[in-house]
Amino acid sequence: MDVRLRRKAVFLVGDLAECQLENIDKAEMPFFSNQLFLKSLVDLTASSDLDLQEKVLVAIKNLLQLRTTEAMVFKEFCRLDDALERMKKQLEDLMLDEDHREYVTDVESLRKEVEFSFQAKLGNNGANIEGRMVHSQLKTRVEQEQRNEIPADWESETDRLG
């Protein structure tokens, strides 16, 4: 399948999940908790296309916030923890390229958010996750604002914060 089509499809999944989060009083779409659907999404983290990986992370982050998604499905069936670790190593290698460092750093920050959300959902089975997500979103916002003001060596600053 064409990578552009995959990007669009994954973007739509993330957008649908975000829409569901905004309309919590409505019933969640059943495919959001389908194991094969979730696994195929997690498997896309192995793509060599960084833009696709970013869209997958956004979609997974939104899906992890839904009530009907189960952390153990992401862990046991989808192997999300392994996928996130592989992605971390890949991004570390890509950081060596000066031309893409800023974008790779943004994707790594998003990967950390997904990892945090995943661990929170595993640990709490959804309890108190909304508070943690707000904290995570605020932390990301602060990091984004700092990036506009901090010189080229700002990666060390985000490492210190994160």
Q: At 78, is the secondary structure helix, strand, or coil?
A: coil
pLDDT tens sequence across 79-97: 999 999 999 999 999 988 8
Range list of H helices, the chain:
3-22, 35-43, 50-64, 71-72, 80-94, 101-124, 129-149, 155-161
pTM for the whole structure: 0.73
Q: Which of 31-45, 111-125, 145-159 has the lowest mean pLDDT?
A: 145-159
pLDDT tens sequence across 52-63: 999 999 999 999
More confidently predicted of 114 and 32: 114
Question: What is the span of the domain harbouring residue 151?
Answer: 3-161
Query: How many domains, in total, are found in the chain?
Result: 1
